[in-house]
Amino acid sequence: MRQSGAISELIEALRCLPGVGPKTAQRMTLHLLQRDRNAAGRLSDALRRALDQVGLCGQCRTLTEHALCEHCANPDRDRSLLCVVESPAEVFAISRSTAYKGLFFVLNGRLSPLDGIGPEELGLNVLENRLREDGVAELILATNTTVEGEATAHYLSDMAGRHGVRTTRIAHGIPFGGELEYVDGATLSHAFDGRKDF
């Protein structure tokens, strides 16, 4: 059944979400309109409020409702440690899963000249000012291990080096509980290259 008007518009709008194809978007639309109109209203209100109130932290560029996010505003965080990640999702993951007590810088992307994403789009001028002025002793690179993520890491390492800031890279390799026979060759090679004393 081909939909038109408001139903079709809502289906297309939901398709902007990651992993949501046409059938899933249609199923969500029909559920919200047919079975749970109250939830649809709450979703609409929450989305509007978030669009109106959420922006980027003035210091680290993560999503926040305030001028500074909870990490940057917390005086107990170690300001000598600065972890660079590609997205706010990684800030949540690191905060939830580790004992890391330093600060973050969120690129909101990665260097990709073919897509028109250069240093300016990632706010690297803001990062360079922090390396120059904020007493950062260690820059922790937590970019993804894609080609673009690795290129971004090398660029950031060079930038930190110009300011005498130590650069480290989070470890990559065999997942905890993983079995070697099921690990791909590139991951296994990277794990061997990054081995440490036991």
pLDDT in tens, 181-196: 787 887 778 777 777 7
Regarding pTM above 0.85, the answer is no
3-state SS, 92-142, equals HHHHHHCCCCEEEEECCCCCEHHHCECCCCCCHHHHHHHHHHCCCCEEEEC
71 bridge partner residues: none
Structure-token pair, residue 40:
């649809």
pLDDT of residue 2: 59
pLDDT of residue 172: 80
Q: What is the mean pLDDT of residues 158-177?
A: 89
Helix (H, G, I), strand (E, B) or coil at 11: helix
Q: Which residue has the tokens 């990709």?
A: 112
**What domains are there in the chain, each with its CATH number?**
5-53 (1.10.8.420), 63-169 (3.40.1360.10)
Residue 160: C-alpha distances to residues 80, 96, 127, 170 (Å):
13, 27, 9, 16
Handedness of CA 69, 70, 75, 77 (dihedral sign): negative
Distance from C-alpha of 38 to C-alpha of 25, rounded to nearest angstrom: 18
141 bridge partner residues: 84, 169
- Nearest of 45, 38, 29, 128 to residue 84 by alpha carbon: 128
3-state SS, 43-81, equals HHHHHHHHHHHCEECCCCCCEECCCCCHHHHCCCCEEEE
Helix (H) or strand (E) run with residue 29 in it = helix 22-34
Instruction: Indicate the pLDDT class of residue 97, thresholds 50, 70 and 90.
Output: confident
* Residue 35 pLDDT greater than 60, yes or no: yes
Residue 100: C-alpha distances to residues 92, 130, 149 (Å):
11, 19, 21
Instruction: Indicate the pLDDT class of residue 146, thresholds 50, 70 and 90.
Output: confident
| Mean pLDDT score of the chain | 91
Instruction: Indicate the pLDDT class of residue 197, thresholds 50, 70 and 90.
Output: low
- Tally of residues, the chain: 198
